[in-house]
Chains A and B, each alone.
Chain A
Amino acid sequence: MSELDELRGGFFEECEDLLTVLAEGLQQLSDGDDDRETVNAVFRAVHSIKGGAGAFGLDVLVNFAHKFETSLNELRDARIPKSEHVIGVFLRASDILADLVAAMRDETATDDAAIEASLEEIVALIPVKPGAEKVDESYAPMSLDFGADEPAGFEPAALETLDFTPEPVAAIEAPVGPAVWLLTFRPATGLYARGNEPLLLLRALAALGPCEIELDTESLPALGDLGPEDAGLAWRIRLETEAKEEEIFEIFEFVADDCALEAVPAESGPGAAAAEDIPDFAAPAFDAPAFEPAPEPAAAAEPAPAEPAPAKASAPKGEDGGKAGEGKGGDGAKASIRVDTDRIERLVNLAGELVITHAMLTQRIAEAGLARHAAIAEGLDEFRMLTRDVQESVMAIRAQPVRPLFQRMTRIVREAAHATGKSVKLVTDGEGTEVDKTIVERLADPLTHMIRNAVDHGIESAEKRADAGKPSEGTIRLSAAQRSGRIVIEIADDGAGINRPRVLSIAKEKKLIPADAELSDSEIDNLLFMPGFSTAKEVSALSGRGVGMDVVKRAIQALGGRTIISSKPGEGSVFSISLPLTLAVLDGVVVRVADQTLVAPLAAIVETCRPTKADLKRMGPRDHVLLVRGEPLPIVDIGAELGFRPPVESPLDSVLMVAETEGGARCALLVDDIFDQRQVVIKGLEEGFGRTRGVAAATILGDGRIALILDVDALVREASGPHGAGHVMALTG
């Protein structure tokens, strides 16, 4: 059973990709893309989902996908216009399809009402055709029942009983007269290994028209040479059919890679122009009707009434022979493999070890007094570069484009806009930007929330926008870019901007800040991130439950990122998220405190200095502040703060690092010495002994010892608490 589960898992993974292709394609269409290939890609995505779903007997999914596909076909054949309404219907249908796939995967209940509604919309799109009043509602998928109730032995005679003439195909255009095809079907071993049954395929073929099937035993080896698991049988088939060439090949679509199939028209007929001896189905060289996945794969498995089906345009141009095995990705999909993330994780760890081992080796060689030995130094240098290359290549494996994430946001905007009755469009930029997989995954929730907020609170109602002289449709711009070793994601709306007086009064009302507090604009903006803050007058269905932005901020922080707001009244707000490229390495400043070696994240350090008397001012009996260009900064003695030693008498002999927290609060961290600045591999700390506040993680140094990585934010926050630096520190820190 587990093998089937595995197949099933593979199917759902593939569905994810297909849904991405679908959403992307529809988005392009809605942006006015007129490329025929885009429609085809969308169509193929739905078709492939249907095909797979059929194999696993997921009837609800098959049914939905089928109708979706049918109306997409109408679009493809330009029988319905690419109007806004039509694309809208398809967009909603793709949402439902995604939900359905998720429901099937998780085996949860489906939202039947939504499905029904969407189906009605879809079916309504299909123009009523003469002679075909109804789209076939009774699509019967061929499920993979692995031939359980088939006759055990293969009897060619059984086929003859299937010999029947189908009702004439209701061909809507380009009627094709019956043609006679001579086919040779030679399954390879792999076909059987994958659980395919030639009998079913031959039956499906027989359903296309009267056919004679003859077993070809010529290639069967002598008994002595016979491999028990090798495929030796082949069949010669004479098929008389009105079906088009691609319909014949469609039957073999799923086994195309595992068999040799030849089809030669025996008598001339339409659609049988240049086909000669074609060695392999996988690369058909027909120039006549090119093969194209059609809506009805192997539906004729049962002697059901032949398809009155949505017939396709007879000769789609500009599409090269779509190979059955691939071609799903549309434009030149790159070869790729799926790898278990555990394996990648292991590789990432090993690459980290390599970096550490290199550091160790360098240190040992220096200790042995060999560092100046030219050959050794050269070799070591080469080793260093290789190590870095390996490290970067491994990181690149984990890197993923943010595209699927952004794609999902399109839907969020659509739904949020629908719920609020606003008209909003999402413009995305930089979808190809790559970030660590974990970051991409964990960004989904915070981003969803921010996007909803932007629609709900950011964009004004249509009337207000009209009054302000803005176009009635609001725009949210979601962009990603790489800037100096970090990823910056921006969510910009062209709404009203943050209503600062209101934010301030609400914060005072809710007693989040003292009533007499004077805050700067950016401090007011940052109030949005305070726990328990919600500006919505009523709790709306979308956002504004008061558990919003502070959760967002914490989620981003947990990823080592920061959130910055900027807003202009009347022009809109921009929320920027800045994230590290990877969670595995960090640029750090290696410092000494007492007898301990510690690492401070470089990103948090603004500058370092050795203070002079003039820079220091006493505050109370022990504490000092550091004056940096007229700004007094509290000094945090890390050694004392972490309990490694008593507080220093005077910071004069120490080194101070000016640190800035995510919220923009600044303070000076006191350390005994600074050694080095280097890249370190982040190792998680078991949160065993209560949370070690002030310590974010650990790393392994060149000598094999562990150094702790400081959590600058936590240190500053804690230190500034009792200093009475006021609510502002507490707020922004």
Chain B
Amino acid sequence: MNEAQEDRRVARREVVVFRVCEDEYCIAIGSVREIRRWSEATRLPRTPHFVKGVINLRGLVLPVIDFAARIGLGDTVTTSRHSTIVVEVRGHLLGLLVETVTDILSIPETDFQPTPALAGDETNEMVSGVILLNDRLLRIVDVDRFAPHVETEPA
């Protein structure tokens, strides 16, 4: 009873949890448009290595980014078990290639914590905070940082 009352007072946020290289990440559910099975992408020439290419999303040409490669964990060797999370970034749709989507969780806002200071590497650049859930560590991905015009460096 007490807990329930408390719950009502604390705002909760829903996140989509996915796994990449045995680590867990999550994205605010508001930015996620859909989740689909991986389908082979058409390579885009002269793009950074983490740009997997473009896929056909019901007639829309959707650029897909290899999430693992983007945060510096090495290029993904794709199988049909991989997933694409379609996110909306500043009005544009973008696909993120991930290993697998594991959960959709509702998390009290108070559980959101800032990223521990480990400045500098590519992972932290994409991660805006963490959630500690029992013994799991969910890294919160800031999809805005995937906005295309941020990636200016050509391959």
What B residues does A644 contact at CB under 8 A? Answer: 43, 45
- Asked if A690 meets B47 with Cβ closer than 8 Å, knowing A349-B59, A685-B54, A685-B61, the reply is yes
Q: A706 → chain B, closest Cβ, in Å?
A: 4
What A residues does B151 contact at CB under 8 A? Answer: 688-690
Measured CA separation A693–B46 after assembly (Å):
7
Q: Is B81 among interface residues, defined by CB-CB distance under 8 A?
A: no
Q: Is A602 among interface residues, defined by CB-CB distance under 8 A?
A: no
Q: Please, what's the 1-or-0 string for A352-384, where 1 marks a CB less than 8 Å from any CB in chain B?
A: 110010000000000000000000000000000
**Closest residue on chain B to residue A353 by CB atoms:** B59
Q: Are A689 and B44 in contact (CB under 8 A)?
A: yes
Q: Are B56 and A689 in contact (CB under 8 A)?
A: no
Q: Is A596 among interface residues, defined by CB-CB distance under 8 A?
A: yes
- Asked if A706 meets B63 with Cβ closer than 8 Å, knowing A686-B92, A688-B92, the reply is no
Q: Is A692 among interface residues, defined by CB-CB distance under 8 A?
A: yes
Q: Is A53 among interface residues, defined by CB-CB distance under 8 A?
A: no
What B residues does A437 contact at CB under 8 A? Answer: none
What A residues does B63 contact at CB under 8 A? Answer: 686, 688-689
What B residues does A708 contact at CB under 8 A? Answer: 42, 44-45
Q: Is A386 among interface residues, defined by CB-CB distance under 8 A?
A: no
Measured CA separation A596–B152 after assembly (Å):
25
Q: Are B92 and A352 in contact (CB under 8 A)?
A: no
- Asked if A642 meets B61 with Cβ closer than 8 Å, knowing A689-B51, A698-B54, A700-B56, the reply is no
What B residues does A686 contact at CB under 8 A? Answer: 61, 63, 92, 148
What B residues does A643 contact at CB under 8 A? Answer: 45-46
- Asked if A642 meets B42 with Cβ closer than 8 Å, knowing A683-B61, A698-B54, A700-B59, the reply is no
Measured CA separation A456–B81 after assembly (Å):
66
8 Å CB contact of B44 from A349, A692, A700, A705: A692
What B residues does A693 contact at CB under 8 A? Answer: 46
Q: Please, what's the 1-or-0 string for B45-67, where 1 marks a CB less than 8 Å from any CB in chain A?
A: 11110010011100111010000
Q: Please, what's the 1-or-0 string for A700-712, where 1 marks a CB less than 8 Å from any CB in chain B?
A: 1000111110000
- Asked if A689 meets B47 with Cβ closer than 8 Å, knowing A353-B59, A684-B61, A698-B54, the reply is yes
Q: Are B59 and A352 in contact (CB under 8 A)?
A: yes
Q: B139 → chain A, closest Cβ, in Å?
A: 23
Measured CA separation A683–B46 after assembly (Å):
19
Interface residues in B131-155 (C-beta closer than 8 Å to A)? 148-149, 151-152, 154
Q: Is A119 among interface residues, defined by CB-CB distance under 8 A?
A: no
8 Å CB contact of A706 from B46, B51, B61: B61
Q: Is B34 among interface residues, defined by CB-CB distance under 8 A?
A: no
Q: Are B55 and A706 in contact (CB under 8 A)?
A: yes
8 Å CB contact of A690 from B43, B54, B56, B154: B154
Q: Is A580 among interface residues, defined by CB-CB distance under 8 A?
A: no
8 Å CB contact of A704 from B41, B48, B54, B56: B56
Q: Please, what's the 1-or-0 string for A619-650, where 1 marks a CB less than 8 Å from any CB in chain B?
A: 00000000000000000000000111000000
What A residues does B48 contact at CB under 8 A? Answer: 689
- Asked if A689 meets B54 with Cβ closer than 8 Å, knowing A352-B59, A642-B46, the reply is no
**Closest residue on chain B to residue A597 by CB atoms:** B42
Measured CA separation A690–B60 after assembly (Å):
19
**Closest residue on chain A to residue B153 by CB atoms:** A690
What B residues does A684 contact at CB under 8 A? Answer: 61
Q: Are A706 and B42 in contact (CB under 8 A)?
A: yes
Measured CA separation A695–B47 after assembly (Å):
11
Category for how many chain A residues contact B: 20 to 34
Measured CA separation A461–B74 after assembly (Å):
70
Q: Are B59 and A707 in contact (CB under 8 A)?
A: no
Q: B41 → chain A, closest Cβ, in Å?
A: 8
Q: Is A271 among interface residues, defined by CB-CB distance under 8 A?
A: no
Measured CA separation A231–B45 after assembly (Å):
68
Q: Is A694 among interface residues, defined by CB-CB distance under 8 A?
A: yes
Measured CA separation A685–B42 after assembly (Å):
12
Q: Please, what's the 1-or-0 string for B14-57, where 1 marks a CB less than 8 Å from any CB in chain A?
A: 00000000000000000000000000111111111001001110
Q: Are B92 and A705 in contact (CB under 8 A)?
A: no
Q: Is B94 among interface residues, defined by CB-CB distance under 8 A?
A: yes
Q: Are B54 and A706 in contact (CB under 8 A)?
A: yes
What B residues does A698 contact at CB under 8 A? Answer: 42, 54, 61
Q: Are A596 and B43 in contact (CB under 8 A)?
A: yes
What B residues does A704 contact at CB under 8 A? Answer: 56
Measured CA separation A687–B51 after assembly (Å):
13
**Closest residue on chain B to residue A700 by CB atoms:** B56
Q: A387 → chain B, closest Cβ, in Å?
A: 15
- Asked if A596 meets B42 with Cβ closer than 8 Å, knowing A684-B61, A698-B54, A700-B59, the reply is yes
Q: B144 → chain A, closest Cβ, in Å?
A: 14
- Asked if A694 meets B46 with Cβ closer than 8 Å, knowing A684-B61, A688-B92, A700-B56, the reply is yes
Q: B91 → chain A, closest Cβ, in Å?
A: 11
Measured CA separation A705–B41 after assembly (Å):
8
Measured CA separation A694–B46 after assembly (Å):
9
What B residues does A356 contact at CB under 8 A? Answer: 59
- Asked if A688 meets B56 with Cβ closer than 8 Å, knowing A642-B46, A683-B61, A707-B42, the reply is no
Q: Are B59 and A705 in contact (CB under 8 A)?
A: no
What A residues does B59 contact at CB under 8 A? Answer: 349, 352-353, 356, 683, 700
A356, A683, A689, A692: most-surrounded residue (chain B CB, <10 A): A689
Interface residues in A670-692 (C-beta closer than 8 Å to B)? 683-690, 692
What A residues does B154 contact at CB under 8 A? Answer: 690
Measured CA separation A350–B63 after assembly (Å):
21
What B residues does A689 contact at CB under 8 A? Answer: 44, 47-48, 51, 63, 148, 151
Measured CA separation A349–B58 after assembly (Å):
11
Measured CA separation A251–B92 after assembly (Å):
54
Measured CA separation A607–B40 after assembly (Å):
33
What A residues does B92 contact at CB under 8 A? Answer: 686, 688
Measured CA separation A217–B54 after assembly (Å):
71
Chain A positions within 8 Å of B, measured between CB atoms, are 349, 352-353, 356, 596, 642-644, 683-690, 692-695, 698, 700, 704-708
Chain A to chain B: the 4 pairs with minimum beta-carbon distance, closest first: A688-B148, A642-B45, A706-B42, A689-B47
Not counting A689-B44, A695-B45, a sample of 9 additional A-B residue pairs whose C-beta atoms are within 8 angstroms of each other reads: A642-B46, A643-B46, A684-B61, A686-B63, A687-B148, A690-B46, A692-B46, A705-B42, A706-B41
Selected A-B contacts with CB under 8 Å, 20 pairs: A349-B59, A356-B59, A596-B42, A643-B46, A683-B60, A683-B61, A684-B61, A688-B94, A688-B151, A689-B47, A689-B148, A690-B47, A695-B45, A700-B56, A700-B59, A704-B56, A705-B40, A705-B42, A706-B55, A706-B56
